[in-house]
């Protein structure tokens, strides 16, 4: 009867959650990779080590942030621009999210793009 109402989860969702937990138990090293990938990125930029696989880069201006997001998308990277009202005025940022499957060479290239084409824009503001 739970499938009749919107509050019940479909059985496939529960099965997927159980499978994910089984995978985590069997591959604990895999679960550490996203943060390691994020650290590789921040270290290449001289930023502090992150505690999660999500790395914000505050650019300040919303338009600069959207332009930076578009530039990275044109280079093949999906990096979300977060701006007010989601974040306080003047703290618009790029949100980089790393997964275990991101390639080290792609991360190095992303860091180079940010260092050469995004950070100089921020400094010009």
| d(C-alpha 116, C-alpha 108), whole Å | 12
What is residue 9's predicted lDDT score, i.e. its pLDDT? 79
Please give the CATH topology (third level) of the domain spanning 33-124: 3.90.1150
Question: Is 60 exceeded by the pLDDT of residue 85?
Answer: yes
CA 74 to each of CA 69, 78, 79, 89, 107: distance values in angstroms, whole numbers, following the listed order:
9, 9, 11, 26, 16
pTM beyond cutoff 0.75: yes
| Per-residue confidence (pLDDT) for residue 95, from 0 to 100 | 98
Beta bridge partners of 54: 97
What does the DSSP assignment read for 8-34?
A: SPPHHHHHHHHHHHHHHHH-HHHHHHH
Q: How far apart are CA 71 and CA 78, in angstroms?
A: 10
Question: pLDDT tens digits, residue range 42-68?
Answer: 999 999 999 999 999 999 999 999 999
């Amino acid at each position: 009867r739970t499938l009749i109402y919107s509050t019940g989860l479909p059985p496939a969702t529960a099965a997927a959650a159980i499978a994910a937990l089984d995978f985590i138990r069997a591959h604990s090293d895999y679960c550490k990779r996203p943060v390691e990938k994020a650290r590789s990125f921040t270290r290449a930029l001289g930023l502090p080590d992150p505690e999660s696989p999500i790395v914000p880069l505050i650019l300040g201006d919303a338009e600069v942030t959207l332009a930076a997001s578009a530039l990275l998308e044109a280079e093949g990277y999906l990096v979300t621009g977060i701006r007010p009202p989601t974040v306080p005025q003047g703290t618009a940022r790029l949100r980089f999210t790393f997964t275990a499957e991101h390639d080290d060479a792609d991360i190095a290239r992303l860091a180079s793009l940010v260092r050469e084409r995004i950070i100089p824009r921020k400094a010009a503001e």
